[in-house]
């Protein structure tokens, strides 16, 4: 195994990964670390092993962007199966109840899904990474503990129905696209739609197609994206630090004097617009993420040279 390189030897970047099924988000990070031979790699927005699609990785100083990316809206393609309930609310869990969906009409399915659009108080799946008294809820389920998760505020912007199929006379499969806020559980939507219809429901397929400004159309398998960064340092699936920040935040073009001042943690004249801005030096280097504080802009996240 090759020795670990200093993280500074690999340019700070975002990797847009198209996650394969069966991998945890941690598995993806581990593979990127192995290909790049660096330590500092993280991810934004966990995907379950069953799920595929976009997982954004940060390498080196780009990991400082990940906390801001996690809060972005997401889009998913999913298949909901009505007529069966599982312990995990997806196909990976044991079936705990069945009820014939033979009498469920397409109109009823669409109406139930429409009821899941808008601001919601959603109870996450019990087999999830949500912490209860400091422990992951899935660990408590595996230990046989009984507990209730608190509902959380989420927003589902839209649910588009692409098809309603009957794989058997007793089951209904529904193909949907869901656009939602961060923290929304698509398998909880499947569970709750099944509950409304009185037949139970779970998720059989899930693919994240976008997160904020990034989409699977620009993503690659983790080995390919990491390999591109390890080689020429650019290519499909790789965004350098400044390009990544510009994709997420409005740009604040700095003068040379302002770039030096921010590098020392000093304040510069206000940007004049709310929210974080990517402060970019005249040479194209990302200096900081800045936000206004009255008449001045202050450093929220700094990116020292090198």
* Residue 83's CATH number: 3.30.2350.10
Q: How many structural domains are present in the chain?
A: 3
Residue 199 resides in a domain: yes
Q: Are residues 64 and 82 in the same domain?
A: no
Q: What is the pLDDT along the chain (306 residues), one digit of tens a residue?
A: 444 445 557 899 999 999 999 999 999 999 999 999 999 999 998 899 999 999 999 999 999 999 888 889 999 999 999 999 998 899 998 999 999 999 999 999 999 999 999 999 999 887 655 544 554 455 444 455 554 678 999 999 999 999 999 999 999 999 999 999 999 999 999 999 999 999 999 999 999 999 999 999 999 999 999 999 988 777 789 999 999 999 999 999 999 999 999 999 999 999 999 999 999 999 999 999 999 999 999 999 999 886
Are residue 232 and residue 291 in the same domain, yes or no? no
Residue 258 lies in a domain: yes
| Same domain? 78 vs 203 | yes
Give the strand pairing for 84-86 and 74-82. Answer: unpaired
Check whether residue 113 and residue 163 sit in a common domain: yes
Q: What is the pLDDT of residue 6?
A: 52
Quote the pLDDT of residue 236.
Answer: 86
Contact between 289 and 300 (Cβ < 8 Å):
yes
* 196 and 96 co-located in one domain: yes
The confidence score (pLDDT) of residue 71 equals: 83
Question: What's residue 26's pLDDT?
Answer: 95
- What lies within 8 Å, CB to CB, of 284 at 6+ separation is 242
Residue 108: Cβ-neighbour burial (10 angstroms; 0-12, 13-18, 19+):
middle
Do residues 150 and 264 both lie within one domain? no
Domain-embedded: residue 5:
no
Place of tokens 């990976």: 92
- The answer on 47 and 81 residing in a single domain is no
What does pTM read for this prediction?
Answer: 0.89
238 and 270 part of one domain: no
8 is a domain residue: no
pLDDT of residue 33: 97
Backbone angles phi, psi at 111, to 5 degrees: -65, -40
Q: Is residue 227 part of a domain?
A: yes
In a domain, 6, yes or no: no
139 contacts: CB under 8 Å, gap ≥ 6: none
Q: Which are the catalytic amino acids?
A: 48
Do 8 and 39 form a contact (C-beta atoms < 8 A)? no
As given in the structure block, the two tokens for residue 263 are 């590098």
Predicted confidence at residue 214, as pLDDT, reads 96
Q: Is residue 139 part of a domain?
A: yes
Q: Do residues 104 and 144 both lie within one domain?
A: yes
Q: How far apart are CA 37 and CA 294, in angstroms?
A: 43
Quote the CA–CA distance of 207 and 42 in Å, as a whole number.
20
Query: Residue 288: enclosing H or E segment and its boundaries?
Result: strand 286-293
Domain shared by 176 and 297, yes or no? no
Say if residue 120 is in the same domain as residue 67: no
Domain that holds residue 279: 250-302
Residue 167 lies in a domain: yes
Same domain, yes or no, for 225 and 189?
no
**Residue 240 in contact with residue 30, Cβ under 8 Å?**
no
């Amino acid at each position: 195994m090759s020795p670990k390189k200093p993280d500074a030897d690999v340019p700070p970047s975002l990797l847009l990964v198209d996650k394969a099924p069966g991998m945890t988000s941690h598995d993806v990070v581990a593979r990127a670390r192995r290909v790049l031979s660096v330590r500092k790699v993280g991810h934004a927005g966990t995907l379950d092993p069953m799920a595929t699609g976009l997982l954004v990785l940060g390498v080196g100083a780009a990991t400082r962007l990940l906390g801001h990316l996690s809060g972005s809206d997401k889009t998913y393609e999913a298949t909901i199966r009505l007529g069966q309930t599982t312990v995990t609310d997806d196909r990976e869990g044991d079936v705990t109840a069945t009820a014939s969906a033979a009498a469920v009409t397409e109109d009823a399915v669409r109406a139930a899904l429409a009821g899941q659009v808008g601001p919601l108080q959603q109870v996450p799946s019990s087999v999830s990474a949500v912490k209860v008294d400091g422990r992951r809820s899935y660990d408590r389920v595996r230990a046989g503990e009984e507990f209730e998760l608190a509902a959380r505020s989420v927003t589902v912007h839209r649910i588009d129905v692409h098809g309603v199929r009957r794989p058997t006379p007793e089951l209904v499969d529904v193909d949907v696209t869901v656009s939602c806020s961060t923290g929304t559980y698509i398998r909880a939507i499947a569970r709750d739609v099944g509950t409304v219809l009185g037949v139970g429901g779970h998720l059989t397929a899930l693919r994240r197609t976008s997160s904020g400004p990034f989409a699977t159309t620009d993503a690659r398998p983790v080995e390919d994206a990491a390999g591109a960064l390890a080689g020429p340092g650019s290519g499909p699936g790789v965004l350098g630090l400044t390009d990544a920040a510009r994709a997420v935040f409005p740009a604040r073009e700095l003068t040379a004097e302002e770039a030096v001042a921010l590098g020392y943690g000093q304040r510069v004249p206000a940007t004049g617009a709310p929210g974080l801005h990517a402060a970019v030096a005249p040479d194209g280097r990302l200096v900081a993420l800045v936000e206004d504080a009255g008449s001045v802009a202050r450093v929220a996240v700094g990116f020292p040279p090198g």
